[in-house]
């Protein structure tokens, strides 16, 4: 069971993934540009990271920029890239000082050299940190992730390093993004939509899904705690019956 906002929540997820949705609609409500909405959204990352520390969440994965987001208006894409660059330039030192390891997952081949260099620097700087892990999914898609793993396995099979009949779910998982981290226990989507939008399709096989109408720039520590409380009250069965889990 869970507690109130001032207490300790039992059964906290080790790994929380968040689809940070609603920045544009938040901005439109205030007659602001989409860039203002995305900037406000970046501010909330600090809030949720602090909440993870408070409640003992080990891994936080954020869906920052999907493979499909390149199709958005050029002006918005440029603004998102500037924000990503700004975050890597200005937030990594603080993250490092708090003992957080930063990881970036995704294709990377469409990013400019400056962003790629900043990603490399951030990952190298924080690689030894053990307090928590922050994963940023940028130019990421779940279908890309699965296809990328399949391609690597096909190359190994073609080279005679493995036999096709050796390939099972465990082997595929070793070639997926996040293979060295615990699987996501909880996926939170802000902004009111009820879908996972090609995010961590393989990894969400048994994740609990939590949807809220709150736009991401308004998503507070209390909203995050509400999601954790909801998770704590769920029974996770992993294919077993409710009676088996209760034993």
Cite the active site residues. Answer: 21, 69
Sheet with 132-140, edge to edge strand ranges: 100-105, 132-140, 59-66, 15-19, 186-189, 208-211
* Among 51, 128, 32, CA closest to 40: 32
What DSSP string runs through 19-69?
E---HHHHHHHTT--HHHHHHHHHHHHHHHHHHHHHHT--EEEEEEEEGGG
* Cα first-last separation, the chain: 17
What's the CA gap between 131 and 242, in Å, rounded?
34
> Which tokens is 122 given?
């951030």
Report yes or no: 36 and 27 within 8 Å, Cβ to Cβ.
Answer: yes
Burial of 65 (0-12, 13-18, 19+ CB in 10 A): buried
């Amino acid at each position: 069971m869970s507690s109130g906002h001032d207490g300790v929540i039992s059964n906290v997820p080790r790994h929380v993934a968040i689809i940070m949705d609603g920045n544009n609609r938040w901005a439109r409500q205030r007659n602001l540009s989409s860039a203002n909405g995305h900037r406000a959204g970046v501010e909330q990352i600090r809030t949720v990271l602090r909440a993870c520390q408070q409640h003992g969440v080990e891994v936080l994965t954020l869906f920052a920029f999907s493979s499909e987001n390149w199709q958005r208006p050029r002006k918005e894409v440029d603004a998102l890239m500037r924000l990503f660059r700004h975050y890597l330039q200005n937030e990594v030192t603080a993250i490092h000082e708090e003992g957080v390891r930063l990881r970036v997952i995704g294709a990377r081949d469409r990013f400019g050299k400056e962003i790629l260099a900043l990603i490399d620097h951030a990952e190298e700087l924080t690689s030894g940190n053990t307090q928590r892990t922050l994963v940023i999914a940028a130019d990421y898609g779940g279908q890309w992730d699965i296809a990328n793993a399949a391609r690597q396995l096909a190359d190994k099979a073609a080279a005679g390093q493995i036999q096709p009949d050796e390939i099972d779910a465990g082997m595929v998982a070793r070639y997926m993004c996040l293979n060295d981290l615990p699987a996501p226990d909880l996926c939170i989507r802000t902004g009111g939509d009820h879908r996972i939008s090609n995010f961590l399709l393989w990894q969400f096989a048994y994740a609990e899904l939590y949807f809220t109408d709150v736009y991401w720039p308004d998503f507070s520590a209390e909203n995050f705690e509400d999601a954790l409380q909801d998770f704590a009250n769920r029974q996770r069965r992993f294919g077993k019956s409710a009676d088996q889990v209760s034993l």
